Chains A and B, each alone.
Chain A
């Protein structure tokens, strides 16, 4: 059984706002399947007593003090932007979706 279906790849592409052709869907679904199957081999050696790992370093509570540090200038901030207007990043219109929070 494939590790990822063509429909899942299409769904991910839509979430990522990527326009993918039918041919590309076939190609990526195949490639991603190979990658996921390879990664899945890790699961075969993971014993029940090994918890899933999210961080490679065994650290907790790395905090910074609440002290202001210098910011970029607006010119610096916008220097890598594809487009700017009124000192703001200018991006194409967003389809009818809401902000996250």
Chain B
């Protein structure tokens, strides 16, 4: 499409967005949902399959107790009610990513219902209502060949690997989220981030978007103020936190341009493209599949013992929001400062850096300064920037020991991010250590005094502030590799003045 998109500010001034999110989380159980095949990521094709997950005649599924426990814990952490009795259902469809021609899922009886998750956006708490959390099995991976590589259109054959088929998958569905206005993209991102952190805290999944263990579909619609909600589209293939935000924003812009031109939004599935940041149409909901759900006869109902649920609830770990509040106090940060740490995705990174011996102030300085700036510039998540908390702690250790000054430390950090090695290695290899050889420094100080007799006289007469010029001269001759404070002390001492 070649239409020019309207400006975002104009769109949110004229329209109100409603968003909704469906998130799929692959559980980190040892085995699949209904059979004992292992679940590890990767592996040669079709090496983790058995009669059950291949849907061979006569095989019978049996539910994995660890997966049931995990989803109940997720439900509890999301403030849901846990069903006293529920069933699995067959979702029937004919597509070879499931060998049985159906997927075992849950339909009208999800195991967890009516919860919420509070997220912080722009200094405000937004309560995201959770409609349901249910359990299903993941699908196999199809590879389309014979046409344009990897694309359905034009392909003549599909090759299927069922290693992933049957891995327990938890689907978390929000209620529609109205009223977020211009912040809708940020709310969507904050929700998925918080959800990821909650699930990671529970230890039930590694929730890695890039490996597909956390996947997200984003629903977006626009309406005029005071009017009914608009027709929504569902954007799939959203594979990073940044993409969640971009997908909502891009859909808002696209829909506004359609509506502005007097057009109508088609209810459809759209695909997000990481490279261009926009969406293209997929399946239209008007021809959506009729899944013919019915209760799964091969699996008996689940009726979690209330005592078991109470036990799981009592044993929940400290959840990220509570944990952050405690860290904020320990670190002595204002609400606003803590929010910027959260927005930067730096909470866990700072925590680990501080655990490695760095002060909160120094940890915050590196993660929110140099490293955040670089993450923003290159469009990667802070956690993937290439510097680890232990490296940052090591760097700060070198600063504290007087081996690096601020400027040199930044150069070393640059090297760390570029994968040149540990801070100590980079400092040594590139000769970035502060000049601490007093002989060399004294010579440089004497040289600076001799070259600037006027300034030296001023300092002698008590104008201590003038020392800065001589410190600057020394820093220049040592190419920045001296400690400015030490140089200043030496200058004053040589001139017989008290600092």
| Assembled-state Cα–Cα distance A59/B38 (Å) | 27
| Assembled-state Cα–Cα distance A64/B143 (Å) | 32
The reply to whether B31 and A89 contact each other, CB–CB distance below 8 Å, is no
Listed stretches B11-19, B178-186, B294-302; interface member:
B294-302
Contacts of A89 in B (CB 8 A): 46, 96, 99, 159-162
| Assembled-state Cα–Cα distance A13/B147 (Å) | 28
Task: Determine whether B63 belongs to the interface, using a CB cutoff of 8 Å to chain A.
Answer: yes
Task: Determine whether B35 belongs to the interface, using a CB cutoff of 8 Å to chain A.
Answer: yes
The reply to whether A96 and B46 contact each other, CB–CB distance below 8 Å, is no
Contacts of B85 in A (CB 8 A): 60
Listed stretches A27-35, A38-46, A70-78; interface member:
A70-78
Closest residue of chain A to B146, judged by CB?
Answer: A93
Closest residue of chain B to A53, judged by CB?
Answer: B295
| Assembled-state Cα–Cα distance A60/B83 (Å) | 13
Bitwise, B150-172 to A at CB < 8 A (1) or not (0) is 00110111111110000001010
Q: Which residues of A in the span 48-70 have a Cβ within 8 Å of any Cβ on B?
A: 54-55, 57, 59-70
Shortest C-beta distance, A100 to chain B (Å), equals 5
Shortest C-beta distance, B206 to chain A (Å), equals 16
| Assembled-state Cα–Cα distance A17/B289 (Å) | 12
Instruction: State whether A69 and B161 are in contact (beta carbons under 8 Å apart), knowing that A55-B300, A63-B64 are contacts in the complex.
Output: no
The reply to whether A69 and B169 contact each other, CB–CB distance below 8 Å, is no
Task: Determine whether B144 belongs to the interface, using a CB cutoff of 8 Å to chain A.
Answer: yes
The reply to whether B302 and A90 contact each other, CB–CB distance below 8 Å, is no
Task: Determine whether B50 belongs to the interface, using a CB cutoff of 8 Å to chain A.
Answer: yes
Shortest C-beta distance, A40 to chain B (Å), equals 17
Task: Determine whether B68 belongs to the interface, using a CB cutoff of 8 Å to chain A.
Answer: yes
Task: Determine whether A21 belongs to the interface, using a CB cutoff of 8 Å to chain B.
Answer: no
Instruction: State whether A67 and B36 are in contact (beta carbons under 8 Å apart), knowing that A61-B302, A88-B45, A100-B103 are contacts in the complex.
Output: yes
Instruction: State whether A66 and B66 are in contact (beta carbons under 8 Å apart), knowing that A15-B94, A100-B103 are contacts in the complex.
Output: yes
Query: How many A residues touch the partner, as a band?
Result: 35 or more
Shortest C-beta distance, A68 to chain B (Å), equals 5
| Assembled-state Cα–Cα distance A87/B49 (Å) | 12
Contacts of B171 in A (CB 8 A): 101
The reply to whether A94 and B297 contact each other, CB–CB distance below 8 Å, is no
The reply to whether B98 and A69 contact each other, CB–CB distance below 8 Å, is no
Task: Determine whether A47 belongs to the interface, using a CB cutoff of 8 Å to chain B.
Answer: no
The reply to whether B65 and A98 contact each other, CB–CB distance below 8 Å, is no
| Assembled-state Cα–Cα distance A78/B145 (Å) | 19
The reply to whether A54 and B295 contact each other, CB–CB distance below 8 Å, is yes
Q: Which residues of A in the span 78-92 have a Cβ within 8 Å of any Cβ on B?
A: 78, 80, 85-92
Contacts of A65 in B (CB 8 A): 65-66
Contacts of A64 in B (CB 8 A): 36, 62-65
Task: Determine whether B138 belongs to the interface, using a CB cutoff of 8 Å to chain A.
Answer: yes
Shortest C-beta distance, A90 to chain B (Å), equals 6
The reply to whether B45 and A69 contact each other, CB–CB distance below 8 Å, is no
| Assembled-state Cα–Cα distance A11/B91 (Å) | 17
| Assembled-state Cα–Cα distance A101/B165 (Å) | 12
Task: Determine whether A97 belongs to the interface, using a CB cutoff of 8 Å to chain B.
Answer: yes
Instruction: State whether A62 and B300 are in contact (beta carbons under 8 Å apart), knowing that A87-B44, A97-B283 are contacts in the complex.
Output: yes
User: Using a Cβ cutoff of 8 Å, how many contacts connect chains A and B?
Assistant: 167
| Assembled-state Cα–Cα distance A68/B283 (Å) | 37
The reply to whether A100 and B95 contact each other, CB–CB distance below 8 Å, is yes
The reply to whether A87 and B45 contact each other, CB–CB distance below 8 Å, is yes
Contacts of B92 in A (CB 8 A): 15
Contacts of A77 in B (CB 8 A): 46, 49, 54, 162
Shortest C-beta distance, B214 to chain A (Å), equals 13
Closest residue of chain B to A17, judged by CB?
Answer: B94
| Assembled-state Cα–Cα distance A86/B413 (Å) | 44
Shortest C-beta distance, A75 to chain B (Å), equals 9
Instruction: State whether A101 and B152 are in contact (beta carbons under 8 Å apart), knowing that A63-B65, A78-B46, A89-B160 are contacts in the complex.
Output: no
The reply to whether A85 and B31 contact each other, CB–CB distance below 8 Å, is no
Instruction: State whether A99 and B139 are in contact (beta carbons under 8 Å apart), knowing that A67-B30, A74-B44, A89-B160 are contacts in the complex.
Output: yes
The reply to whether A74 and B46 contact each other, CB–CB distance below 8 Å, is yes
Bitwise, B41-79 to A at CB < 8 A (1) or not (0) is 000111111110010100000111111100000000000
Contacts of B105 in A (CB 8 A): 100-101
Interface centre among A15, A69, A98, A101 (most CB of B within 10 A): A101
Neighbour of A71 across the interface among B48, B62, B65, B302, CB < 8 A: B48
Shortest C-beta distance, B307 to chain A (Å), equals 13
Contacts of A72 in B (CB 8 A): 49-51, 54
Instruction: State whether A60 and B46 are in contact (beta carbons under 8 Å apart), knowing that A88-B143, A93-B157 are contacts in the complex.
Output: no
Neighbour of A16 across the interface among B91, B94, B156, CB < 8 A: B94
Residues on B lying within 8 angstroms of A by beta carbon are 24, 29-31, 35-38, 44-51, 54, 56, 62-68, 85, 87, 91-99, 103, 105, 136, 138-139, 142-147, 152-153, 155-162, 169, 171, 236, 269, 282-283, 289-292, 295, 297, 299-305
Q: List 23 A-B contacts (CB under 8 A).
A: A15-B292, A54-B295, A54-B301, A55-B300, A60-B301, A61-B305, A63-B64, A63-B65, A64-B36, A65-B66, A69-B50, A78-B46, A87-B161, A93-B156, A93-B157, A94-B152, A96-B283, A98-B269, A99-B142, A100-B91, A100-B97, A100-B291, A101-B24
- What are the 6 A-B residue pairs with the smallest beta carbon separation, nearest first? A69-B36, A66-B66, A63-B65, A54-B295, A88-B159, A60-B303
Using A55-B297, A60-B300 as known contacts, list a sample of 7 further A-B pairs with CB atoms less than 8 Å apart, ordered by residue number in A. Answer: A60-B85, A69-B50, A80-B56, A89-B46, A89-B159, A92-B156, A100-B105
